[in-house]
Amino acid sequence: MKILITGGTNGMGKGVAKVLAELDNQHHEIIVLGRSQQLGDATIEEIKNATKNPKISLILCDLTKLREVRNAIDEIHKHHTFLDAIFINAGLGYAATRVETEDRMDPHFQVNYLSHFMLLLNLLALLEKSSHGGRVVFNVTRGGEIFWDNIQMTRNWHYEKGVHQAMVAKRMLLSILHKYYQRSKGSKVAFIGFEIPKTVWTNQINLIPRGMKIMASIMKSLGMFISIDDCGKIMAPLFTEPQIDNYKKSGKFLTRKKNRFVEMTEDPKILNSDLQKKLWRISVELCNDKITREIAEKFTQ
Ligand SMILES: NC(=O)c1ccc[n+]([C@@H]2O[C@H](COP(=O)([O-])OP(=O)(O)OC[C@H]3O[C@@H](n4cnc5c(N)ncnc54)[C@H](OP(=O)(O)O)[C@@H]3O)[C@@H](O)[C@H]2O)c1
């Protein structure tokens, strides 16, 4: 399997990258999408050394910049004729203030959702060429809402609201894409939402304020966190299982309980066609990218 992982330089993405790189006698190829050349190179060296898998590469992309998303898409198409899986994972978590992106957007909305929307739409053609059944795994959590009249959160900003708004948008996107593929393309690509059942001890711990850090350390001592490696082990089957099992999960919002993937009940608002169309229109508009618009138009034909 050839698997693209956004945010593979830290946290959950790195855990999944490491586990997949080692699985099946180092058979899988991993492409890490990261925003820093230095950290990207170091991560690739670390994974190669730890797993003895040489098939690890880096695509540079700062997801706060749509022009870099366009470059990353072009770069991926230049080097790869197919992809088997994408992990939609990179995300901004804690932030003390709202730092608008160069595209004048809310940072959580752009990094955690919109840049992934553009990336994914432009890579679907590569996933369709997978001989194992292309698959997209969205790192999502329950809860949250979209602030339709304040999507860029210029009012009432709080980082948690931003994180959750993006989660809702990602869950809506996976449902839209699943419905579209079912309707017009059969089982070529699966779109799966997954909520990790326990909090993962990630780089977020280094970014949060002192008070939150102390609280997290207490919770860790009580066994309330899992490591990024354990996170990787839990999630790996979603990327490597046979197409027949994977496609049964498409369009679903899953978690893991008692060693099994189980479906969670999705919020009716997420599945609402009118709201999905609204989010789709807004997303295409905000990407402001000719090729993305052309791809998106095919979905409405
Ligand atoms: N931790 C949990 O328990 C948990 C639970 C459920 C969902 N999540 C979600 O999981 C995702 C990953 O979070 P994490 O906890 O693993 O945090 P993390 O350790 O901070 O990892 C975040 C990853 O996203 C990347 N990233 C952030 N901003 C970026 C940008 N502008 N451009 C490109 N990449 C960017 C980071 O790159 P750098 O390495 O360069 O910083 C890093 O690789 C997030 O979407 C989060 O909401 C986390």
Average pLDDT of span 76-93: 98
Ligand 1 pocket member 12 (CB < 6 A):
yes
Task: Output the CA torsion sign for 179, 143, 204, 195.
Answer: negative
Atom of ligand 1 nearest to the CA of 201: 1
Atom of ligand 1 nearest to the CA of 225: 3
pLDDT of 275 strictly over 90? yes
Annotated domain spans of the chain:
2-197+229-300
Q: At 299, is the pLDDT very low, low, confident or very high (cuts 50, 70, 90)? A: confident
**Per-residue pLDDT averaged across 91-110, rounded?**
98
CA distances 191 to 7, 75, 156, Å, are 18, 23, 32
**What are the angstrom distances between the C-alpha of 45 and each of 34, 87, 222?**
14, 20, 33
Rounded Cα distance, 238 and 236, in Å: 5
Query: Which residue(s) pair with 255 in the sheet?
Result: 262
Q: Quick check: helix, strand or coil at residue 19?
A: helix
- Average pLDDT of the chain to the nearest whole number: 97
Rounded to 5 degrees, φ, ψ at 163 are -60, -45
| Stretch 86-90: mean pLDDT | 98
CA angle, 145 then 13 then 89, to 5°: 25
Instruction: Assess whether the C-beta atom of 11 lies below 6 angstroms from ligand 1.
Output: yes
User: Does ligand 1 come within 6 angstroms of the Cβ of 141?
Assistant: yes
What's the gap in Å between 111 CA and the centre of ligand 1? 10
Over residues 177-201, mean pLDDT: 93
Ligand 1 geometric centre to CA of 139 (Å): 10
Looking at the domain that runs over 2-197+229-300, which CATH code has it been given? 3.40.50.720
pLDDT at residue number 119: 98
* 89 in contact with ligand 1, CB cutoff 6 A: yes
Query: Could you tell me if the CB of 51 is within 6 A of ligand 1?
Result: no
139 lines ligand 1 (CB under 6 A): yes
pLDDT tops 80 at residue 248: yes
pLDDT given for residue 181 in this prediction = 95
Q: Are 146 and 109 in contact (CB under 8 A)?
A: no
Model pLDDT, residue 51: 98
pLDDT of residue 111: 98
Q: How far is CA 297 from CA 118, 281, 292, in A?
A: 13, 10, 9
Query: What percent of the chain shows pLDDT beyond 70?
Result: 100
Tell me: pLDDT of 301 over 80. no
What's the mean pLDDT in 222-237? 97
* Mean pLDDT along residues 277-301: 94
Note the pLDDT of residue 186: 77
| Res. 203 pLDDT band, cuts 50 70 90 | very high
Tell me the Cα Rg of the chain. Answer: 18
**Ligand 1, atom 16, residue with closest C-alpha:** 11
Q: 226-253: b or e for each residue (b if 16 or more CB lie within 10 Å)?
A: bebebbbbbbbebbbbebeebbebbbbb
Position 208 confidence tier, pLDDT thresholds 50, 70, 90: very high
